[in-house]
Amino acid sequence: PAGAEQAALFFEATRVAREARTKEELAEAIARYERLLAAGLRNGRVEYNLGNAYFRTGDAGRALLHWRRAERLLPGDAQIAHNIEFARSRLPDKFETESAAEALAIVCFWHAWPLATRWHAALAFFACLWACLALRLRYRTWALAAAACACGIIACALGASAAVTMRHEAAAPPAVMVAEQTIVRQGNYEESEPVFNGPVHSGTEVRIIDDTRGPWVRVEFPNKKDGWVRRETVERI
The answer to whether residues 158 and 186 touch, using CB atoms and an 8 Å cutoff, is: no
- Give the whole-angstrom CA distance, residue 237 versus residue 145: 42
In the predicted model, what is the mean pLDDT of residues 6-29? Answer: 92
Q: Which long-range contacts (CB under 8 A, 24 or more apart) does 188-192 make?
A: 188/213, 188/216, 188/218, 188/228, 189/216, 192/228
- Give the whole-angstrom CA distance, residue 22 versus residue 170: 40
DSSP output for 126-154 = HHHHHHHHHHHHH---HHHHHHHHHHHHH
Share of the chain above pLDDT 90, in %: 73
Its pTM stands at 0.79
Supply the DSSP symbol for 125: H
Residue 67 has pLDDT above 70, yes or no: yes
In the predicted model, what is the mean pLDDT of residues 18-32? Answer: 94
83: how many CB neighbours lie within 10 A of its CB? Answer: 22
Q: Where are the beta strands (DSSP E) in the chain?
A: 174-177, 181-182, 200-201, 205-213, 216-220, 226-230, 234-236
Question: pLDDT for 165-194, tens place per residue?
Answer: 888 888 899 999 999 999 999 999 999 999
Banded pLDDT at 1 (limits 50, 70, 90): very low
Question: pLDDT for 135-149, tens place per residue?
Answer: 988 888 899 999 999
Banded pLDDT at 218 (limits 50, 70, 90): very high
The answer to whether residues 67 and 84 touch, using CB atoms and an 8 Å cutoff, is: yes
The answer to whether residues 233 and 179 touch, using CB atoms and an 8 Å cutoff, is: yes
Residue 105 has pLDDT above 70, yes or no: no
Within 8 A by CB and 6+ apart from 16, the residues are 25, 28, 29, 32
Query: What amino acid is encoded at 89 in this protein?
Result: S
